[in-house]
Structure 1
Amino acid sequence: MAKLRVLHNDTCPICSREVAAYDRLARKSGLELEIDGLDAALGWGLDRDSAAQSFRVEQDGQRHEGLDAFRLLWARLPGWRWLAWLTGLPVLHWLADRAYRHLAAPALYALHRRRQRRGA
């Protein structure tokens, strides 16, 4: 099975906890993950700000973003495969994708920007 490479906003406490949980489960199940934070954004061809806006996964040179990135990861993790399957159903995929792109990702990015302003 090909290694997955994950790019996430490691300055986000919510994102970091979630990715750490995925990493622990991946290690237990023998899945190899390479986890990158915002400092690795340039290696993904992105600046830090763009990288902070969405979750990304790369497999076999193919990059996936948002819900599709989550689904790729979930499909390989025991206990999460059901969610990958469920969010692959056409109507649920459409709803979940829009919920991530228009609600979750912008809200998390807004929190990121607030943390950036406070730290500046």
Structure 2
Amino acid sequence: MTDTNMQNTAPAPGPVPAQQPEGAGAERTTLIYNGTCPICSREVAHYRAKADQHGVTMDFADLHSADLAPYGLTPDEAARRLYLVRDGQLHSGYEATLILWSELPGTRPLARFAALPGIRQIGTFIYDYIAAPALYALHRRREAKKAA
């Protein structure tokens, strides 16, 4: 595929300080996701149910209805990757997924395995160069159909 919009848009590694929305405590975790993506929505519904079932305090912010300005994100940026804010730090991509899994009972062992040296690098590569660009391309197609 030669779509120039499929290029890697990964931010620099490591967390980025994010302002918390008014009234949100720094200890709260917020997952920012694309609610129009069927794959993303299905995954988030699973994570939300798991969080509710186990009493895990977590917010889920659909990029189409949430105010992203406090996080320093535009809707287009948020559509390109999964974002998670924890303790005032903005994480994205594979790292955000690892943090999400580490906070939910039942997925913690998966988080530990996926964070192992070698596995983390492979997972990051797959996320940055295959999964995220493919999901973003599907997002752009859905948006183009809506606009037509």
Could you state the TM-score of these two structures normalised by the residue count of structure 1? 0.95
AA aligned opposite 1:105: A
Contact preservation (8 Å) 1:6, 1:34: yes
* Alpha-carbon contact 1:7-1:37 (below 8 Å) kept: yes
1:90 counterpart residue number: 117
Unmatched segments (≥5 aa) in structure 2: 1-26
Distance in 1 of aligned mates of 2:73 and 2:84: 13
Where does residue 30 of structure 2 map in the other structure?
Answer: 5
Gaps of 5+ in 1: none
**1:72 alignment counterpart:** 99
8 Å CA contact 1:42, 1:48 repeated in 2: no
Q: Is the 8 A contact 2:71 2:90 kept in 1?
A: no
In structure 2, how many angstroms separate the alpha carbons of the residues matched to 1:17 and 1:26? 14
In the alignment, structure 1 residue 57 sits paired with structure 2 residue 84: yes
Task: Please say which of residues 37-46 and 74-83 is displaced more in the overlay.
Answer: 37-46
Question: Normalising by structure 2, what TM-score?
Answer: 0.77
Secondary structure at the aligned position of 1:34 is classed as strand
Q: How far, CA to CA, are the matches of 2:78 and 2:70 in structure 1?
A: 11
Question: Which digits, 9 at most, give the CA deviation of each residue in 1:75-103, with x for residues without a partner?
Answer: 11111111110111110000000100100
Cα distance in 2 for partners of 1:44, 1:16 equals 21
Instruction: State the structure with bigger RCO (CA 8 A, min sep 6), 1 or 2.
Output: 2
Q: What amino acid does structure 2 have at the position aligned with 1:12?
A: C
- Alpha carbon RMSD of aligned pairs, Å? 1.0
Report % sequence identity: 43
Other structure's SS at 1:6 match = strand
Equivalent position SS for 2:80: coil
Q: Per residue, is there more helix in 1 or in 2?
A: 1
Aligned residues: 119
Q: State how far apart, in whole Å, the 2-side matches of 1:72 and 1:30 are.
A: 17
Partner deviation per Cα, 1:28-68 (whole Å, 9 max, x = no partner): 11111111111322332211111100001111101110111
